[in-house]
Amino acid sequence: MLRFVVRRLLVAVLTLVVISLVTFGLFFAVPSSPAKVMCGKNCTAADIAQVERRLGIDRPLPRQYADFVRGVFVGRTYGEGDFRQDCPAPCLGYSFRNNQPVTEIVAQRAPVTFSIVLGGAVLWLALGVSLGMVSALRRGTAFDRAAIGVTLAGASMQVYFFGLILLYLLVYSTGLLPFPSYTPLTESPVRWAAGLLLPWMTLGFLNSALYARLSRAQMLETLSEDFVRTARAKGLSARQVHTRHALRAAITPIVTIAGLDIGTSLGGTFITETIFGLQGLGKATVEAVQFLNLPVVMATVLLAAVFIVVANIVVDVLYAVIDPRVRLS
């Protein structure tokens, strides 16, 4: 098991190195130079060269990439003299538009996205998996048919449609919920939860549709397996058969999709953040693309890759915890 985890970590490091090289290359593939964007339309060639020297993009590409990687671990300095800008580790670059290290921008926006995604994930996993499991155990009943209809409706909707409906019904029309906002959890847990309840409900309902249908199909398939029939033949109760044996085998594919969904969502939920007026990583990324704020784009792309890679490693480890057959193999 230890060798397996070490191998996965080595592959993860290699993957992140490749992604960092690709995103660093895209930084220079943009037709408009960051120095020109920062300097403005009326700059001379000498002015642009001075800005390039401040940004450190007048050096050879291998040297720039080495400086970027070194800055992640030990920090770096941009410019010199009156234009000296310190970027402490972990330095993901310096935003020439915001005039601040990209790490500070990420630190301001990341808690919003984390709060939205993790709260929504708890809802969509709890609602989707429980609904799918109960539907499988009550196959063909009125409850099963109703659950299939609800999940089909949820899978057919989009965030920008369902979110606006909830916003109108629960905020503008009835005032049952406050307008979505972000309050740090350490400042007030009650206001933190109240301000994010509407985004959680939106993501929870829409994403739970997929998990309900998947968990129902997996549970029905698992209930027909030989080991389930053997467990019943041994005289185990229905509860033991369903929870101890069938559920653990059926939940493995769900863990895979959940890990990927959560890892991808942590990279930014632009539509959800835009609908509810929340300043998270997704909105920061789109704003950076619009204004050619390339250091922010690079940082958010790398962070999204880190989240997905880490989620895959966690899923692989959870496989061995959930399914004994994985440990034996």
pLDDT digits (tens, 9 = 90+) for 266-317: 887 888 998 999 999 999 888 888 877 888 888 888 888 889 888 888 888 8
Pairwise pLDDT comparison (78 vs 311), residue with the higher score: 311
Give residue 326's pLDDT band: very low, low, confident or very high (50, 70, 90): low
Give residue 39's pLDDT band: very low, low, confident or very high (50, 70, 90): low
> Hey, which residues does 94 pair with through a beta bridge?
101
Pairwise pLDDT comparison (200 vs 60), residue with the higher score: 200
DSSP string computed for 293-311:
-HHHHHHHHHHHHHHHHHH
pTM of the full predicted structure? 0.85
Question: Which is nearest to 97 in space by CA: 58, 140, 55?
Answer: 55
Burial class (CB in 10 A: 0-12, 13-18, 19+), 258: buried
Q: Which amino acid is at 125?
A: L
